[in-house]
């Protein structure tokens, strides 16, 4: 088992060393290096299967330790495979973006009379309009919430003021009749003020209309 273990461990280290060359390899050759790394990783997995079989046949006093060593190798090679897959996904995405950019730059300008126009990406325009609409709705909702909160605060303030007036009246020992008289006087004063404002407006209107 020791020979196969050290051989597999050495192969893992070689793959780790080659992984460092992925970022430095040119675009024309990077896929060749990826294929080589994938083939090496597959070979290591095959050897790990053999190692698991050998470890299971070790003497009982060494079997557990042998399985732990194989599991560590398996973890290392799985990490390498994940790193290779992540690199490939990033490369594919980057190449797709470059192709889209080249297609956009290669679009020809079309002339219509004196105007020059270029086709517009309708999807991008739609997404931008949708984003602006969502932002506008968020602003409206925020404004509505602020207004509702203000109304709630005013209602609470008025309730508190009315309660304080009742408390003061109770402290002064005023009767219910006196309280009703006070409320009636307050209502009358309100109507008097409103009537005075209307009368003033009418007088101003007449002055402006006939004397202006």
Name the residue with tokens 């399985």.
67
How buried is residue 8: exposed, middle or buried, by Cβ count under 10 Å (0-12/13-18/19+)? Answer: buried
Per-residue pLDDT band at 117 (split at 50, 70, 90): very low
Tell if the pTM clears 0.75, that is, is over it: no
pLDDT in tens, 123-155: 666 566 656 655 655 665 555 555 556 556 655
CA distance linking residue 104 with residue 204, whole number of Å: 68
Q: Span 43-63, mean pLDDT?
A: 88
Domains and CATH numbers, the chain: 1-105+161-211 (1.20.58.400)
CA distance linking residue 50 with residue 4, whole number of Å: 9
CA distance linking residue 155 with residue 168, whole number of Å: 20
């Amino acid at each position: 088992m020791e020979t196969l273990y050290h051989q597999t461990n050495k192969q893992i280290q070689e793959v780790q060393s080659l992984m460092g060359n992925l970022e430095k390899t040119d675009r024309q050759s990077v896929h060749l290096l990826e294929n080589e790394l994938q083939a090496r990783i597959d070979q290591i997995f095959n050897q790990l299967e053999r190692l698991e079989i050998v470890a299971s046949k070790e003497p009982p006093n060494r079997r557990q330790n042998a399985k732990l060593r194989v599991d560590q190798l398996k973890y290392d090679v799985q990490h390498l495979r994940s790193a290779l897959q992540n690199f490939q996904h990033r490369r594919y995405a980057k190449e797709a973006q470059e192709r889209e950019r080249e297609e956009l730059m290669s679009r020809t300008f079309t002339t219509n009379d004196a105007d020059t126009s270029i086709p517009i990406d309708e999807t991008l325009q739609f997404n931008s309009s949708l984003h602006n609409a969502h932002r506008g709705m968020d602003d409206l909702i925020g404004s509505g919430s602020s207004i509702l909160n203000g109304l709630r605060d005013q209602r609470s303030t008025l309730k508190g003021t009315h309660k304080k007036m009742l408390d003061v009246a109770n402290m002064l020992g005023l009767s219910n009749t006196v309280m009703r008289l006070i409320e009636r006087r307050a209502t009358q004063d309100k109507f008097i003020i409103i009537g005075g404002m209307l009368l003033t407006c009418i007088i101003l209107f007449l002055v402006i209309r006939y004397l202006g």
